[in-house]
Structure formats: structure tokens, C-alpha cells
């Protein structure tokens, strides 16, 4: 969606195209684009001359002779194009303005969310679309206004910054960019933001918007001269869109969550959120030391749970999971529970059934874990999930620790566990996606040495995590 910098740039490009040009004809190809009577819109504009183009928030304001004004919001995909009058119009043309110099300005909108509304110089600021808007960051001289507006709200700061009635001009992209620069977590309750933090947020929002306006101007001018008045462009972004990449400030991996339904990218180390309880996912290669990690943190007094133990409990029950696995994998067990040895032999012969098994087991394990986590009181809570990313559970955890091990040591450890079955386990797990997700984890522990080295690495991680607790 075009945001304030894009709309400001479009305004600056449209202005020289339109000022002192008369509208000869208006063709309305989609009447619903016009709020109000399309015929009145058309008849009011024809014969009038453009005097100016201005902007309020994400709205373009077109000023014409006889004090006529019309308001335009591009919404998701709205664009303006300049064509010669005899050229074919764009595929998604919705409104066309024919000018007195043989050109036409086309409003193009593939999603049909954009709107236009007729008004006049005396009342356009009182139109519902404009009057409800808060001030732009550039116009806020005292952050006490923001503190007063938000002091009774416990909404996340990101949701509040997206609320155009409080402060207009910041969309999803620029909120992420602003909060990253301000080092404020997007889920932070807005009524906990201090006056100094509000000053930083306001300053950073102005910096981000101004930089984006400059970058946007040069970007849009790179389109074909005279035609590409287009609101979709890329800018140099530090945070937004960099999910799974490394933070340029600290080198940690950016997280991605949903806040109020909006995709949100942030750095959990630079944008610290203090919490009473942190849920830590533990994953990694087979025989990399996940159980050793759980045993160690348990000895330190932290609550732990292992999905392997949950699966074992589910397999031993004679409930739905037994029936589902039997039916979906077409496998028979001698007794009324899931025999792991029989299952392992089946998966070796039918490796494609592994994904079928996971679709049955993963939702049950996830439900069990979430229920268990909810009754834990606080502090650090460790949850082992070997197939954490494969089961799409990464968003359930505040941080994720992964353990890695080289192949030779992995084989040695598996042989010590069970020499007769270690080869089968390697076959079953050879397609696990550890290498695909290892760059996404928050802490990667290489467990190729002794337990003392493993414990030192765990202690270092715990020390870092403690700083994120209240």
C-alpha cells in the first residue's frame, strides 16, 4: 500500500503535470470509485483547471478553479499514469481525466479499493475522511499530545502507531522501521512508553519518512519519462521485509510476528520486551544434546517439557492417535497402542509416510505443550521440539535454541544409545530440515566437545535471556 512518502512523491510528480491544465472530459469507468454521485463528480470537474495538488496523510488533494476540490486515496494498488489521449488506456483504468494539451491522466486500480470524493475549498478538511486524521509526525511539536492520547491504552505500540486518528502518515513499513531505530519492541504496551521514548519515536518517524521521501523520489523518476507516475517502489529498509536475516546492528536474526493482524519484523535483541515469562524452544539435530540441555536447565530449577515424552505418552494411549496412525499409514499393531519399533520399520520402507505421521502428531503435541506452558508461573521455560520448524511452531516461542553436532560425533552417540537401531534412525531423519532453518534460530550451540563446554554455552544463553525478564 502506498504510504505517506509514496503519496508525497506522487503529489510532487503530479503537480507539474496538472497545474494550469484544464479538464476537457472525465470518463468514469468504475462508478464505485467515486464516493457520492459520479455524474455530479464528472460535471463539476469538466471545464475546470487544476490550481494545485496537496497532501494530507495518505490522501491526495486536488485543487481546481471555482473552489472545487476532490480527494483521492490510493489504498492498496491505486496509481496515476500520464498518457497521450490517443494511446490505449491501462488495463485497470477506473477514472480518466482528459486535459487540454492532448494528454490524459489515468487513475488505475487493479484491486478497486481506492476512492475519490468531490468537495470544495471551504469544507474539504471537514470531510469525514480528512477530519478524523490525527496530525502528521512533522506537525507534532510536543509529545505530551501523544502521551495524553495513549495513557489509558494497553494496546501494542505498533497498533497505536498504525492508528491514523492518533498520528497520521505511518503505515506498516514505516512503523517497523521507526520502532527498530527507536529500539522499542512492537508489542510493548503503549501506556508504558516513557516521554523520552516518545521523543525518540517521533524523531525517528520523521527521519524515516523524510529519508523515504528522498529515496522514493529518485526511485519513481527511474521509470519511463512522462509515463511512470507509479506509487509502488522499493526503498532502502533496515528492518521491514528482512525476516530471517541478520540485524545490521547486533547480528541477531530478525523475528517475524503478527501484531493486530499485520506482519511485523523486529530484532529481539535490539528491541527488548521485558516479560514475566519466556518460553524457549529447544530443537536441533538428532543426538546433538537436546536431552542434555534439558537435564542441565532442570538442575538449575527451570521447568522443562519434551515433545518426545509427549509423543511417547500419546503412543502408549489407545485413543484417537492409535486409530489415526493405523488408518492413515495403513499399518497394523499387535496391541492397542503405537509400537515405535513397528512404526520405525514401516517408515524405513515407506519414507513418504513420515509427513502423514507428522500431520497427525504435530497438532496434538502443540496443543499439549501450549496447555502446559499456560499453567507455568514465570521465568524461563524450556520446551524441546526436535521438529520445531517442520511442525510450524516457531511463533509459539519467544526464543529458540538449536543444537548442532558434526556427523561423526552424532553417529558415535547414536551407537552408544542403541547400536542396533542407530542406522535406521539416521535413514528416517536424513531429510530433516535442520540446515534449512538453522540460520533462523536465536542461539546456535555446537555440541562437539564435552558436557562442560555444553554447559558453558547454555549458561551464556541463559544469562542473555535473563535480561529479557522483568
Decide: residue 218, CB within 10 A, 0-12 exposed, 13-18 middle, 19+ buried.
exposed
Domain assignment present for residue 206? The answer is: yes
> Are residues 82 and 32 both part of a single domain?
yes
CA distance 64 to 44: 10
CATH label of the domain that carries residue 446: 3.40.50.300
pLDDT of residue 447: 96
Portion of the chain with pLDDT greater than 70, in percent: 92
pLDDT of residue 415: 80
CA distance 72 to 176: 26
CA distance 270 to 294: 27
> Are residues 68 and 206 both part of a single domain?
no
239-293 pLDDT per residue, tens: 998 999 999 999 999 999 999 999 999 999 999 999 999 999 999 998 899 999 9
> If you average pLDDT over residues 448-467, what whole number do you get?
96
Flag whether pLDDT at 421 surpasses 70: no
> If you average pLDDT over residues 232-237, what whole number do you get?
58
> Are residues 183 and 91 both part of a single domain?
no
Domain assignment present for residue 177? The answer is: yes
> If you average pLDDT over residues 168-194, what whole number do you get?
95
220-234 pLDDT per residue, tens: 444 333 455 443 445
CA distance 246 to 248: 6
What distance, in Å, lies between the first and last C-alpha atoms of the chain?
37
pLDDT of residue 351: 86
Decide: residue 338, CB within 10 A, 0-12 exposed, 13-18 middle, 19+ buried.
buried
Domain assignment present for residue 317? The answer is: yes
176 or 323, greater pLDDT: 176
Domain assignment present for residue 231? The answer is: no
Contact 346, 340 (CB under 8 A): no
> Are residues 175 and 313 both part of a single domain?
no
Flag whether pLDDT at 1 surpasses 70: no
> Are residues 82 and 159 both part of a single domain?
no
> Are residues 196 and 51 both part of a single domain?
no
At residue 417 the predicted structure's pLDDT band, cuts being 50, 70 and 90, is confident
| 179-215 residues labelled b (16+ CB within 10 A) or e (exposed) | bbbbbbbbbbebeebeeebbebbbebbbebbeebbeb
Contact 101, 49 (CB under 8 A): no
Contact 380, 462 (CB under 8 A): yes
Stated length of the chain: 470
At residue 410 the predicted structure's pLDDT band, cuts being 50, 70 and 90, is confident
> Are residues 93 and 179 both part of a single domain?
no
End of a domain among 69, 100, 130? 130
> Are residues 287 and 386 both part of a single domain?
yes
> Are residues 251 and 377 both part of a single domain?
no
Domain assignment present for residue 230? The answer is: no
Flag whether pLDDT at 451 surpasses 70: yes
pLDDT of residue 263: 94
Least confident of 293-302, 388-397, 418-427: 418-427
Contact 275, 468 (CB under 8 A): yes
Flag whether pLDDT at 431 surpasses 60: no
3 state SS of 69: strand
> Are residues 111 and 165 both part of a single domain?
no
Domain assignment present for residue 272? The answer is: no
334 or 71, greater pLDDT: 71
114 to 44, 60, 78, 302, 439: CA distances (angstroms): 20, 11, 6, 53, 40
Decide: residue 128, CB within 10 A, 0-12 exposed, 13-18 middle, 19+ buried.
exposed
How many structural domains comprise the chain?
3
Q: In what order do the strands lie in the sheet with 304-306?
A: 304-306, 379-384, 277-284, 399-404, 443-446
At residue 341 the predicted structure's pLDDT band, cuts being 50, 70 and 90, is confident
Contact 9, 216 (CB under 8 A): yes
> Are residues 311 and 396 both part of a single domain?
yes
> Are residues 352 and 304 both part of a single domain?
yes
CATH label of the domain that carries residue 196: 1.10.8.50
End of a domain among 87, 113, 130? 130
3 state SS of 26: strand
Strands 277-284 and 103-108: unpaired
Domain assignment present for residue 450? The answer is: yes
Residues marked active site are found at 2-3, 58, 262
3 state SS of 286: coil
Flag whether pLDDT at 300 surpasses 90: yes
CATH label of the domain that carries residue 54: 3.20.190.10
Domain assignment present for residue 454? The answer is: yes
> If you average pLDDT over residues 304-318, what whole number do you get?
90
pLDDT of residue 233: 40
Average confidence score pLDDT of the chain: 90
pLDDT of residue 429: 60
End of a domain among 78, 113, 130? 130
CA angle 155, 161, 165 (to 5 degrees): 95
Domain that holds residue 253: 137-223+237-266
3 state SS of 89: coil
Amino acid at each position: 500500500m502506498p504510504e505517506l512518502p509514496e503519496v508525497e512523491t506522487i503529489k510532487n510528480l503530479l503537480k507539474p503535470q496538472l497545474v494550469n491544465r484544464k479538464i476537457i472530459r472525465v470518463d468514469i469507468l468504475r462508478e464505485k470509485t467515486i464516493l457520492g454521485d459520479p455524474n455530479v463528480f464528472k460535471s463539476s470537474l469538466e471545464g475546470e483547471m487544476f490550481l494545485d495538488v496537496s497532501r494530507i496523510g495518505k490522501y491526495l488533494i486536488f485543487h481546481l478553479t471555482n473552489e472545487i476540490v476532490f480527494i483521492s486515496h490510493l489504498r492498496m494498488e491505486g496509481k496515476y499514469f500520464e498518457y497521450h489521449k490517443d494511446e490505449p488506456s491501462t488495463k485497470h483504468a477506473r477514472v480518466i481525466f482528459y486535459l487540454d494539451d492532448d494528454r490524459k491522466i489515468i487513475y488505475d486500480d487493479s484491486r478497486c479499493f481506492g476512492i475519490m470524493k468531490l468537495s470544495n475549498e471551504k469544507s474539504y478538511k471537514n470531510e469525514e475522511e480528512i477530519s478524523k486524521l490525527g496530525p502528521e509526525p512533522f506537525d507534532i511539536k510536543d509529545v505530551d499530545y501523544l502521551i495524553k492520547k495513549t495513557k489509558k491504552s494497553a494496546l501494542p505500540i505498533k497498533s497505536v502507531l498504525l492508528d491514523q486518528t492518533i498520528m497520521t502518515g505511518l503505515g506498516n513499513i514505516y512503523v517497523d522501521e521507526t520502532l527498530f531505530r527507536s529500539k522499542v519492541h512492537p508489542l510493548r504496551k503503549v501506556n508504558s512508553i516513557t516521554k523520552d521514548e516518545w521523543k525518540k519515536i517521533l524523531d525517528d518517524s520523521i527521519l524515516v519518512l523524510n529519508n523515504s521521501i528522498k529515496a522514493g523520489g529518485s526511485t519513481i523518476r527511474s521509470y519511463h519519462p512522462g509515463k511512470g507516475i507509479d506509487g509502488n517502489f522499493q526503498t532502502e529498509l533496515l528492518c521491514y521485509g528482512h525476516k530471517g536475516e541478520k540485524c545490521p546492528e547486533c547480528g541477531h536474526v530478525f523475528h517475524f510476528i503478527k501484531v493486530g493482524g499485520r506482519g511485523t519484523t523486529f530484532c529481539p535483541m535490539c528491541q527488548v520486551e521485558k516479560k514475566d515469562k519466556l518460553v524457549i524452544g529447544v530443537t536441533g539435530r538428532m543426538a546433538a544434546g537436546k536431552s542434555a540441555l534439558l537435564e542441565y536447565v532442570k538442575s538449575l530449577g527451570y521447568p522443562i517439557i519434551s515433545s518426545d515424552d509427549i509423543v511417547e505418552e500419546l503412543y502408549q494411549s489407545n485413543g484417537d492417535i492409535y486409530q489415526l496412525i493405523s488408518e492413515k499409514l495403513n499399518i497394523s499393531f499387535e496391541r492397542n497402542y503405537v509400537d515405535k519399533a513397528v512404526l520405525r520399520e514401516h517408515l524405513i520402507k515407506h519414507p513418504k509416510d513420515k509427513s502423514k505421521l507428522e500431520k497427525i502428531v504435530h497438532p496434538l503435541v502443540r496443543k499439549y505443550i501450549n496447555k502446559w506452558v499456560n499453567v507455568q508461573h514465570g521465568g524461563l521455560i524450556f520446551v524441546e521440539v526436535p521438529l520445531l520448524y517442520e511442525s510450524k511452531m516457531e511463533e509459539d516461542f519467544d526464543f529458540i535454541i538449536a543444537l548442532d553436532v558434526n556427523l561423526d560425533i552424532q553417529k558415535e552417540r547414536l551407537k552408544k544409545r542403541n547400536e542396533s537401531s542407530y542406522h535406521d534412525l539416521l535413514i528416517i531423519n536424513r531429510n530433516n530440515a535442520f540446515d534449512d532453518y538453522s540460520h533462523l534460530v536465536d542461539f546456535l550451540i555446537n555440541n562437539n566437545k564435552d558436557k562442560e563446554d555444553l554447559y558453558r554455552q547454555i549458561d551464556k544463553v541463559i544469562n542473555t535471556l535473563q535480561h529479557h525478564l522483568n
